[in-house]
Structure 1
Amino acid sequence: RSAERGAGAVQSLKERTGKCAVYVPCDVRKQEDCRQAILAVGKHEGTPAFTVDILVNSAGVYTEQRLENVTEADYAAIMDVNVKGTMFLTQAALPRMYGGGSIVNVASDAGISGNYGCPVYCASKGAIVALTRALALDLASAIRVNCVCPADVDTPLLTKQLVDAGEGYGLEDMEASYPLGRIGRPAEIAHVICSMVSPANSFMTGAVVAADGGLTAG
């Protein structure tokens, strides 16, 4: 939703790839915003008959809070972005994908094994895992739907998490919990996503793939 960050992402993509990119502001919690975002893609393509080949649902928020302290507003803040956002943007894109396409939902290790102190977040990501499997069945054979479950990755979301944690824990504590001894890098998760949408993996749908440094292996 940040125009500044969106413009920065477009510039970075152009510099790295030489390809054209466009930023469209969208609040995925709102169905109409999602519809308008997809329509904006068509305007950029210059044709009303455009198709969407790949959709990556990666918008997400994270908050640590014990269940006994959760309010209705706290619940909505997480579930609306993580679950409704994934559903609504997928819904808006579907009419443009029935000729064939690939969807990747970004869940979390917390959606596979749970985690301490963030029950609503875990519930939201568990919902994405279940949604992925359900949509893989509903949308076959035209559209493939898969899910990647990253653990902690070096992104602005993690930076915010560490700030919110205060003196509760730090990056070194976090890294010590991983068999690989470190957190993930954004490019590593992007590589998994690219693999999932590749035609070389055209037999993969309904898959839930952990990219978590071995965190959920035990």
Structure 2
Amino acid sequence: MNRLNGKIALITGGASGIGLASAQRLIDEGAFVFIAGRRQDVLDNAAEALGSSAQGVQADVTKPEDLDRVFETIQKEKGHLDVLVANAGVGEFASLGQITEEHYDYIFDINVKGTLFTVQKALPLMTNGGSIILTGSTVGSMGTPAMSIYSASKAAVRNLARSWAHDLRGTGIRVNVMSPGPTKTDKLIELLPSDALSEMKRSVPLERLGDPQETAGAVAFLASDDSSFMTGSEVFVDGGYAQV
């Protein structure tokens, strides 16, 4: 399929995991994709693997000057933006009683502040009919032990989309959330011991972890005109984890 033929996309956190898989899927469907990430070496490797239809731009989404450089690059190279995937995000464990100010600031600065200003700075480049996709999480609508701050940050992301759908009236720009469940990424494998991963699999009605390519399929759907009558919505790709 070439649902995104000629489209220009940006994916933050696009050098690994769900972001990288999404970049490859959008390219496969005809888009040119800019990927942004904090680590230059990882970014360079990802851009090389993606090929000539991708370009990496080093950026920390918590730094306004980095975001300005990303959008200045897109303006110079392509002149506009059709699809924005605000995917950059982090998670850490901390139970109530052990939560520090540093833990809170780290997660909210990237997951909420970073998402907010990525979207806001992208708007002048977005075209009528453009699509903004925010990466949420099943934990945004579930209680999760030792992950209250991460969960709260993703609940905030979900509500940003609801509010922005109103704010974007008259622009033709849609904003939706793609919320993955337990997905087999290097980040998740590093974060959880093998017994916890096994327990998580048992908690998923489909009895397995998701594959980043499956979340990428949902991103491609939300990026394309196949979702042209959707805004303010949340699409779960979670094997039923948060649904039943």
TM-score after normalising by structure 2? 0.81
Contact 2:108–2:153 (8 Å) recurs in 1: yes
1:49-198 aligned within 5 A? 50-141=79-170, 142-162=172-192, 166=193, 169-198=195-224
Where 1:76 maps in the other structure, the secondary structure is: helix
Amino acid corresponding to residue 72 of structure 2 in structure 1 = L
1:2 maps onto 2:39 in alignment = yes
1:22 match: secondary structure? strand
Equivalent-residue separation in structure 2 for 1:61 and 1:196 (angstroms): 22
Q: 2:230 aligns with which of 204, 214, 217?
A: 204
Residue type of the alignment partner of 2:175: V
Contact 1:113 1:216 in 2 (8 A): yes
- Measure, in 2, the Cα distance between the counterparts of 1:31 and 1:139: 22
Letter in 1 for 2:109: D
Per the alignment, residue 14 of structure 2 pairs with: none
* SS of structure 1 residue aligned to 2:57: coil
* 2:181/2:242 contact within 8 Å kept: no
Which runs of 5 or more structure 2 residues have no equivalent in the other structure?
A: 1-37
8 Å contact from structure 1 (residues 62, 157) kept in 2:
no
Number of the residue aligned with 2:63? 30
For residues 130 and 106 of structure 1, the distance between their equivalents in structure 2, rounded to whole angstroms, comes to 12
Deviations 1:151-198 (A, max 9, x none): 111112202212xxx57x432222111110001100000100100111
Give the CA deviation at 1:11: 1.8
1:134 offset after TM fit, Å?
0.7
> Which structure has the larger Rg?
1
CA RMSD in angstroms, aligned pairs only? 1.4
Aligned partners of 2:144 and 2:151 also within 8 Å: yes
Residue type at the aligned position of 1:37? V
- In the alignment, the residues of structure 2 paired with residue 99 and residue 216 of structure 1 have an alpha-carbon distance, to the nearest angstrom, of 33
Q: Distance in 1 between matches of 2:162 and 2:87?
A: 17
CA distance in 2, matches of 1:54, 1:122: 26
- Give the number of equivalent residue pairs: 206
**Which has the higher mean CA deviation after the structures are superposed, 80-89 or 97-106?**
97-106
The answer (yes or no) to whether the contact 1:67–1:120 under 8 Å persists in 2 is: no
Runs (4+) of structure 1 moved beyond 2 Å? 42-45
Query: How far apart are the structure 1 equivalents of 2:143 and 2:177?
Result: 16
Q: Percent identity?
A: 38
Residue 98 of structure 1: CA displacement? Answer: 4.9
Question: 1:149, 1:114 → 2: CA distance?
Answer: 15
For structure 1, list consecutive stretches of 5 or more residues without a partner in the other structure: none
Q: Could you say which structure has the higher strand fraction? A: 2
Tell whether the 8 Å contact from 1:83 to 1:124 is kept in structure 2 after alignment: yes
Write the deviation string for residues 67-125 of structure 1: whole angstroms up to 9, x where unpaired.
21111111001000000010011111001115331100001000022312110000000
Q: Which residue of 2 aligns with 1:21?
A: 54
Preserved CA contact (<8 Å) 1:109 1:216: yes
